[in-house]
Structure 1
Amino acid sequence: MNKKQLLEELRSHKFPELIIKAFEKVKREKFIPREFRDYAYMNEPLPLEKGATISQPYTIAFMLNLLELDGLTYKNKLINGMDRYEKSSKREIFKHSKSQKFEVTDIRRVASREPRFPGLKILEIGSGSGYVLALINEILKLRKIKDYKIYGLEIINELVKNSKKILRNKKIKIIKTDGSKGLKSKSPFDRIIASASFGEIPSSLFAQLKERGILVTPVRDSIYKFKKINGRVETEEFPGFVFVPVV
């Protein structure tokens, strides 16, 4: 499968054109070991260093769509840029989510008063080779958003070094650390995405979300979307995925 075929496959799943455009712009082959670059545009996960993997493009697109990067707010105002993508940016109901479950958790006791920070802040836990960071950055550029910062947390030293070499961008900061507890020192975040699976719902991360912030994370074999609204968290579950665990 080549890049054009991969993009068409993603389009067949009705992902927003904004996400498709980011996949078109970012070269996946830069983020995988040289020996696997012939397979860069297969819709499959590929191995990285120390047992880590780069996720399947479909799975990444699915999670980015849940992250609602087209609905980010800037200083309490909805960003309306990239009008040509608006028709494609409507929320899609995926077949994958037939058995989704809904529940609401009150987190007022764990969420401290949130200071207001200018601009947008996004956190990726388990940033690996930096591919998802690059896609998020490209989406924000396509949205013509200028005031933002993206943080990536990764524990594997080789991946940290390699991703820093690839992503020479002042908007992206990669930190070598255990990402399971998030990044409290830079919180609250507009969006948090985890690219490795937690063994249980990481409720401690809810306090690191801004109001109307979204956390998208694998928990065991499901992808969960958590949205913070008025001090409460709305939850959706999308089962049927496989991820390496958070380490």
Structure 2
Amino acid sequence: MLQDIVDEARYASRMIGRSELSPNVLDAIAKVPRERFVDVDMRRHAFDNSPLPIGRGQTISQPFIVALMTDLANPAPGDRVLEIGTGSGYQTAVMSLLVRQLYSIEIIPELADEARLRFDELNYSNIISRIGDGYFGWPEEAPFDVILVTAAATEVPPHLPEQLAPGGRLVLPVGGRFYGQDLLLLEKDESGNVTEKSLLPVAFVPMTGEH
């Protein structure tokens, strides 16, 4: 799986602006047991470089996309991170190994409960999760150094850039339902100005609860 991620990064280098992903990110990917984040009948595919269904119309993202979004977020050990869309908890677990504190919101209660059990079983102790509509972010815990969105919004939710700290980074897919989506990187400078860059076409499940 790691070699597939490395190869795909090289293939997509012109779009993503890099030919290699951070060794720290690849190390985190290697440490998280992806098979623990899918149903038993899907475990034989856990190390394929492809998305997998996790029930309730949701998926666990392709490992390359998890690695790329984590790399684009450029997490640092002291960072506080907000994740919108806990899902199975796989992206959450990968990011949690690279930062100080991770806050994760999931709108589907069953997925949120299952992810919490996985975090407890695997001893990911720096994750705080809750059930709610991530479209609005988590204002009472803002600002965040990184915000990561794992479902596609039709536009950048306006509350999220506001919740970025100066120097912060927001990574998210934006576009239609399943098609016509682009992975965006937004960066806020020390003066509070936000720049946006479109990187590559992607296909994510749509954000639910969006207003």
Same fold, TM exceeding 0.5?
yes
Does 2:129 align with 1:174?
A: yes
Query: What displacement does 1:73 show?
Result: 7.6
Return the offset for 1:15. Answer: 1.6
The answer for the alignment partner of 1:78 in structure 2 is none
Counterpart CA distance in 1 for 2:174 and 2:168 is 19
Note if 1:151 corresponds to 2:87. no
Alpha carbon RMSD of aligned pairs, Å?
1.3
C-alpha separation in 2, matches of 1:197 and 1:154:
14
Matched with 1:194 is 149
Q: Take 2:96 and 2:174, find their aligned partners in 1: how far apart are those partners?
A: 25
- Asked if 1:162 is matched to 2:128, the reply is no
1:46-125 matches, within 5 Å, as 46-69=52-75, 72=76, 74=78, 120-125=79-84
- 2:139 pairs with 165, 170, 184, which one? 184
Aligned-partner residue type, residue 15 of structure 1: L
Q: Report the counterpart of residue 222 of structure 1 in structure 2.
A: 182
- What is the SS of the residue equivalent to 1:42? coil
How much does 1:16 deviate? 1.7
Higher relative contact order (CA 8 A, sep 6+): 1
1:244 matches 2:205:
yes
Q: What 5-or-longer segments of structure 2 have no aligned partner?
A: 10-19, 176-180
- Is 1:19 the counterpart of 2:25? The answer is yes
Larger radius of gyration: 1
Against the structure 1 CA distance between its residues 16 and 170, is the aligned structure 2 distance closer, same or farther, given a 3 Å change threshold? closer
Task: Figure out how many residues of one structure are paired with residues of the other and give that number.
Answer: 188
| Residue 244 of structure 1, CA deviation | 0.4
Shift of 1:172: 0.5
User: Identity, % of aligned pairs?
Assistant: 33
- Counting only pairs closer than 5 Å after superposition, residues 116-135 of structure 1 correspond to structure 2 as 120-135=79-94
The answer as to whether partners of 2:5 and 2:49 remain within 8 angstroms in 1 is no
Out of 39, 45, 65, the residue aligned to residue 39 of structure 1 is 45
Structure 1 segments unaligned to the other structure (5+ residues): 1-5, 75-119, 141-147
Contact 1:49 1:158 in 2 (8 A): no
Measured in 1, the distance between the counterparts of 2:77 and 2:164 equals 13
Q: Distance in 1 between matches of 2:157 and 2:186?
A: 10
- Secondary structure at the counterpart of residue 98 of structure 2: helix
Runs of 4 or more consecutive aligned structure 1 residues displaced over 6 Å after TM superposition? none
1:112 match? none
Deviation of the 1:46 alpha carbon: 0.3
Judge conservation of contact 2:77–2:98 (CA < 8 Å) in 1. Answer: no
Deviation at 1:133, TM superposition (A): 1.0
Give 1:225's aligned amino acid: L
CA distance in 2, matches of 1:139, 1:155: 24
Does 1:10 pair with 2:5?
A: yes
In 2, the alpha carbon distance for the partners of 1:22 and 1:171 equals 15
For residues 166 and 193 of structure 2, what CA distance do their matches in structure 1 show? 9
Normalising by structure 2, report the TM-score.
Answer: 0.85
